[in-house]
């Protein structure tokens, strides 16, 4: 016999299914009319929050107005001046239980307007195919509005959460999040949230299956420098700066090829191997017409973008760099700039379990199924999000954006999201928010 708690959980799912069936409408792209929901999404997209000078004040004011209109509590913090964190709260009937946080970021990357079919901050809505073109349409202003629209609908249906639900909007994610989420998670305000689970951004899925991410890769900026004797360009020297640096580049290139071969052979996903990409090479002696060609440079430098999956031991990577890529024996030095955490407060890899050891996982998975969706095999995200700062605190966190049958266009020209996909995502979040906030069994202990 089902327990009362389990019965309550299934009752919530059943009520949502009945509600969804009652409201079912055709969502063929050419049949979706502009409504207030899509209008609010487009209004949010029109705020130019692109770096290097994102406008944070206007979208925070807009989101605050929307939140107040549906009865949410609103707080704004500035842990770094001029970089607000907006926190919205829907109080649960049992606020002593760990709460659930739905996070998104306010900022976006720049857009080269001349490369776009429509101005990137116009939020053009195509009447032919329903595509909404805008920087941030996928990354990730869509979920920022979907959270609120889902809560609006749940409130209208009479649903009341057991756990408290928080929604946060943070700055500077696109440039590392160090003045945003990184400061937020260290604050007493964050600690007071008593979080049990965080959901943050994911990525679009080109198939009909939703993608979910349980970890990010961690970026290192690696700078390798070599020195050597200068001299006339006609002579041959041992251990010149350029010779030593090029030898390192060859070694690193072979390592990159080995990692790439593993992924190409299907033994691992691209996000599960270490990626290394050369981003600049600096050497030579400038002249008015270019560079001095008959003189050996005494210094040479190269920069690499290194991405480490959480399954890789960072100490072994440091040893490889020290002994193979930039050994002191070849007159080389190196600098590793770690762009974020690699381990949590207990020294564990930054990964969230997607099995029975994590009680939140099955609730999330069942919510997606109840919403009529399917999940792909959980993945490691090739890039990084603010979830790494949450996981660093020992809090389970999933990356998820409800976008199926959609090309991955984050940071690309003509970034768009179809209106039908956006509207379906709201219904998905209704199931996710109601299910997670109704869950009673998860322990307060951090996983």
Q: Calculate the CA dihedral of residues 301, 305, 306, 310 and round it to 10 degrees.
A: 150
Q: Calculate the CA dihedral of residues 313, 314, 315, 320 and round it to 10 degrees.
A: 100
107 is catalytic: yes
Distance CA 217, CA 374 (A): 24
Q: DSSP class of residue 272? A: G
Residue 103 · residue 200 · CB < 8 Å? yes
β-strands 218-227, 299-308: how paired?
antiparallel
Strands (DSSP E) found in 228-339 = 231-232, 275-283, 286-287, 290-291, 295-296, 299-308, 332-338
β-strands 231-232, 295-296: how paired?
antiparallel
Is 299 annotated in a binding site? The answer is no
**Active-site residue (options: 107, 149, 216, 415):** 107
Is 411 annotated in a binding site? The answer is yes
Residues 6 or more apart whose Cβ sits within 8 Å of residue 134: 42, 45, 46, 120, 121, 122, 123, 124, 141, 415, 416
Residue 429 · residue 150 · CB < 8 Å? yes
The angle formed by the CA atoms of residues 94, 95 and 96, to the nearest 5 degrees, is: 90
Q: Calculate the CA dihedral of residues 360, 99, 94, 192 and round it to 10 degrees.
A: 150
Is 174 annotated in a binding site? The answer is yes
**Active-site residue (options: 172, 173, 419, 430):** 173
Distance CA 118, CA 134 (A): 8
For 386, the token pair is 């603010």
Residue 418 · residue 130 · CB < 8 Å? yes
Distance CA 377, CA 371 (A): 18
Local structure of 76: helix, strand or coil: strand
Is 105 annotated in a binding site? The answer is yes
Using CA atoms, how far residue 20 sits from 98, 151, 228, in Å, is: 28, 14, 71
Residues 6 or more apart whose Cβ sits within 8 Å of residue 247: 330
Kind plus residue range of the DSSP H or E element containing 256: helix 241-264
Distance CA 118, CA 141 (A): 18
Residues 6 or more apart whose Cβ sits within 8 Å of residue 144: 44, 63, 104, 106, 169
- Binding-site positions for Zn(2+): 105, 139, 174, 201, 411
Catalytic residues: 107, 173
- Binding-site positions: 105, 139, 174, 201, 411
């Amino acid at each position: 016999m089902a327990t009362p708690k389990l019965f309550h959980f299934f009752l919530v799912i059943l009520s949502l299914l009945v509600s969804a069936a009652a409201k079912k409408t055709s969502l063929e792209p050419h049949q979706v009319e502009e409504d207030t929901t899509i209008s609010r999404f487009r209004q949010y997209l029109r705020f130019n929050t692109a770096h290097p000078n994102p406008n944070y004040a206007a979208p925070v004011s807009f989101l605050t107005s929307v939140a107040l209109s549906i009865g949410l509590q609103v707080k704004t913090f500035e842990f770094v001046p001029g970089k607000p964190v907006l926190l919205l709260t829907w109080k649960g009937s049992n606020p002593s239980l760990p709460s659930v946080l739905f996070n998104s970021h306010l900022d976006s990357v720049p857009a080269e307007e001349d490369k776009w079919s429509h101005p990137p901050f116009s939020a053009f809505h195509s009447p032919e195919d329903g595509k909404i073109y805008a920087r941030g349409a996928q990354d990730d202003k869509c979920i920022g509005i979907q959270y609120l629209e889902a809560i609006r609908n749940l409130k209208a249906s009479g649903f009341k959460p057991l756990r408290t639900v928080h929604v946060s909007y943070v700055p500077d994610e696109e440039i590392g999040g160090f003045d945003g989420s990184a400061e937020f998670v260290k604050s007493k305000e964050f600690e007071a949230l008593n979080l049990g689970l965080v959901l943050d951004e994911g990525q679009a899925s080109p198939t009909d299956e939703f993608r979910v991410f349980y970890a990010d890769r961690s970026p290192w900026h690696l700078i390798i420098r070599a020195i050597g004797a200068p001299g006339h360009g006609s002579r041959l020297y041992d251990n010149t700066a350029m010779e030593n640096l090029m030898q390192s580049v060859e070694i690193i290139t072979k390592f990159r090829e080995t990692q790439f071969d593993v992924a190409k052979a299907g033994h691992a996903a691209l996000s599960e191997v270490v990626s290394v990409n050369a981003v600049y090479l600096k050497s030579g002696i400038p002249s008015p017409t270019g560079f001095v060609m008959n003189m050996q440079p005494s210094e040479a430098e190269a920069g690499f973008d290194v991405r480490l999956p959480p399954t890789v031991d960072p100490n072994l990577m440091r040893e490889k760099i020290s002994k193979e890529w930039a050994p002191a024996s070849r007159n080389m030095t190196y600098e590793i700039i770690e762009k974020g955490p690699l381990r949590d407060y207990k020294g564990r890899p930054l990964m969230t379990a997607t099995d029975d050891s994590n009680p939140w996982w099955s609730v999330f998975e069942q919510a997606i199924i109840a919403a009529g969706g399917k999940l792909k095999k959980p993945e490691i995200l090739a890039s990084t999000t603010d979830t790494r700062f949450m996981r660093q605190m020992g809090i389970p966190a999933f990356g998820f954006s409800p976008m199926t049958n959609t090309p991955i266009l984050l940071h690309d020209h003509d970034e768009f999201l179809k209106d039908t996909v956006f509207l379906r995502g709201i219904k998905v979040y209704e199931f996710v928010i109601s299910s997670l906030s109704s869950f009673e069994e998860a322990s307060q202990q951090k996983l």
